[in-house]
Structure 1
Amino acid sequence: MNQTSGDKAAASTDAIILAGSRPDGDAMADSRGIAVKALIPVADKAMLAHVAEALLHHKAINNLHLLAQDFKPFWKHFDTKFLESDERVKTHKSSATIAASMNDVLSEDDARFPVLITTADNVLLNEAMIGEFLDAAGSSDIAIAVVEKQVLLKSYPASQRTWLTLRGGQYSGANLFYFGSPQARQILDYWAEVEQDRKKGWKILTIFGPWLLFLAVTRMLTVDQIAARIGKRLGLTIKIVRMSQAEACIDVDKESDLVMVEQILAARG
C-alpha cells in the first residue's frame, strides 16, 4: 500500500502540550484553589490527563513534550502522576512567553520535526481529530487548524466563539498547530508579537503590512490566500486545515465552556 505524505508525517510525530500558567494567574484555577489550570477537573479527570492520554494513545505520536513552569503539581496529582514515569514524556520549563518557550524546545539539539502543538485545555481532543489534522498537514511547514462557523453552530448553536470573518467564511481557531520543519520556527517571532492579543483575529495581519490587512478586512482574500501570502513572504508552506469535528475549537477558557465540554464527554460515554 502506498503512503501519502500525510501518512508519512503521521508515522512519527512528536507532540507538545502547553501546560503552563499565565503570569497573572487563572481565574478558574484560583476560584477552585487549584495550583494550575491544567489540573482543573473536567468529567472527574484533570484537563491535562485528558489531552496527554489522547496523544500518548495515538499511533502517530512519538514523544510528548510538556511545557510548564513547575511540574511538581503534576507529579503529585493522581490523574497526572503517571506522566513522570513515562519514558516518552519529556519536560521543559517554560520561559516568560509561549513563543519563547516553544523556541527553546524546538531549538534544542535533539528537537524532532514534525511536531504537533496543542494546549492542556484542549480536553475534547481525540484520536479522530489528531489523525485528521496530521493527515491534512501533510508535508507543509506549518499547519493551523480552524473550524468553520457553520460546522460549529450546526452541532452547538449556543456556543460563543471569537470569529475571523474573511471572504468565503468565518472561522474559529482550534488549538492544534503543526510545525513540519525547523524553518517553521521563524513564525514564533510573529507569534510573540500577538501573544497577548490572541483573541483579536486581525492583530496578526498588521504585522505583515497594511496592504494584507486591507485585503483581509475588506474580505477580498480567503483564509487560504492569506496563508499563501504570508507563507510566500516567509518562504514557508502554510496550510489551513478545516476540521470536520465542531469540537476541535471548543476548549475550556471559561466556566460555560467547562459545562459544555462535560456535557459532550458525557454524551461520548
Structure 2
Amino acid sequence: MTQQAAAEAPFADALVLAADRGASDPVALDAGTRCKALAPIAGVAMLERVLGALETSRDVGRIHLAGPPRAIVDAEPALAEMLGADERYWHDSRSSPSASAAAALDEIERERPVLLTTADHALLDGAMVDEFLESARARGLDFAVALVRHETIMARFPEMRRTATRFADGAVCGCNLFAFMTPAGRELAGFWQRVENSRKKPWRVIAGTLGMRGALRYLAGRLTLEEALNRLSSRLGVRIGAVMLERPEAAVDVDSAEDRRAVEALLAAAAEH
C-alpha cells in the first residue's frame, strides 16, 4: 500500500452492540420481531440502518457486531444476510453491554481505534461518525464520548424526552457514540463494567469516579463538564474527552415504542423536504 493510500484508508473499526432482552424488549414487542435490532423503522431494520450509516463513513473499515445471540442469527435470514457482507464480523454477546463490548474488543486488533455504537441509533449517518472520530483523533484522546447539549435537542425536538446530565456549564445528553482510540483507552471497558456492577449504588459510582471532592461539587451543581472529564482522566490515567456534536439527531436512540414512532415521523418529514 502506498503512503497516500494508507493515509486515505479507514483508520478505525466499528463495534455495534446489537444484543438486548430478546422478544421481551418493549421495542421488539411493539414491532413483533425476535429482537430489538430487527425492529423496522420506516420499513428498514434499525440494525440495517446503522450498518448502512457506518459503511458510508470514510473513517470506518471493518464492522463488528456484538449480538444478537447466535440462536436469533441462525433463525433470521435477514440477519444472516447482513452478516454475510464483506468486512462484517459477529461476536457472541455477554451478560451486559459492557461485558459484550469488552469481549469483542479483546478479539479486535489492539492497536486499531474502535468506534462503539448501538443497533438502536436509527438516525446515525456517516458524516456524524466522521465528525466524531476526526475530532477525537485530532485531539489525541485515548477515549472519546460524543455529547449534544440538551438545549440543542429541545430546540429541535421539544416533545422528545432525553436523559440529561447536568453540569455547572449546562446539561448534556449522550449519543451512544464512543471511541476507544488507543490501547490505553480500551482500559475504559473494564471501568465501564465496574460502573454497571455498581449502578444500584449511584453515590458510590459518582464518588468512585470523580473522587469525594468532585462528587460533592457535582451534587452542588458546581462541577463543569471539562472539570469532570479532567478528574476522570487523572484518576484513570487516560486522556478522556467529549466531542460536542451540533446535530441533535446524534442523541436520538430508540428505547421505546414511542421513540420508534417519533423517529419514523422524523424520517417521513425529512423525506418530504
TM-score by length of 2: 0.86
The residue number in structure 2 matching 1:160 is 161
Counterpart of 1:176 in 2: which secondary structure? Answer: strand
Structure 2 distance, partners of 1:203, 1:50, is 37
Supply the AA of the counterpart residue of 2:160: S
The residue number in structure 2 matching 1:248 is 250
Deviations 1:221-241 (A, max 9, x none): 211211111101111111111
Deviations 1:190-212 (A, max 9, x none): 31233378799877423223222
Structure 1 distance, partners of 2:94, 2:175, is 23
Structure 2 distance, partners of 1:214, 1:9, is 46
Counterpart of 2:241 in 1: which secondary structure? Answer: strand
Deviation at 1:189, TM superposition (A): 2.6
Deviation at 1:180, TM superposition (A): 0.5
In structure 2, relative to structure 1, the CA distance for the partners of 1:263 and 1:49 (3 Å cut) is same
Structure 1 distance, partners of 2:73, 2:50, is 13
The residue number in structure 2 matching 1:51 is 50
Matched, 1:221 2:220: no
Contact kept, 8 Å, 1:9 with 1:135, in 2: the verdict is: no
Aligned counterparts, 1:95-244, within 5 A? 95-108=94-107, 110-138=109-137, 139-195=140-196, 204-208=205-209, 209-244=211-246
Counterpart of 1:54 in 2: which secondary structure? Answer: helix
Aligned counterparts, 1:7-86, within 5 A? 11-22=10-21, 25-71=24-70, 73-74=72-73, 77=76, 79-86=78-85
Supply the AA of the counterpart residue of 1:153: M
Contact kept, 8 Å, 2:46 with 2:119, in 1: the verdict is: yes
Structure 1 distance, partners of 2:200, 2:260, is 19
Deviations 1:4-29 (A, max 9, x none): xxxx7994110000001238941221
Return 5+ residue gaps in structure 2 as ranges: 1-6
Q: For the aligned residues, what is the CA RMSD?
A: 2.6
Q: Percent identity?
A: 32
Structure 2 distance, partners of 1:225, 1:246, is 24
Contact kept, 8 Å, 2:67 with 2:93, in 1: the verdict is: yes
Structure 1 distance, partners of 2:191, 2:183, is 16
Counterpart of 2:184 in 1: which secondary structure? Answer: helix
Supply the AA of the counterpart residue of 2:171: Q
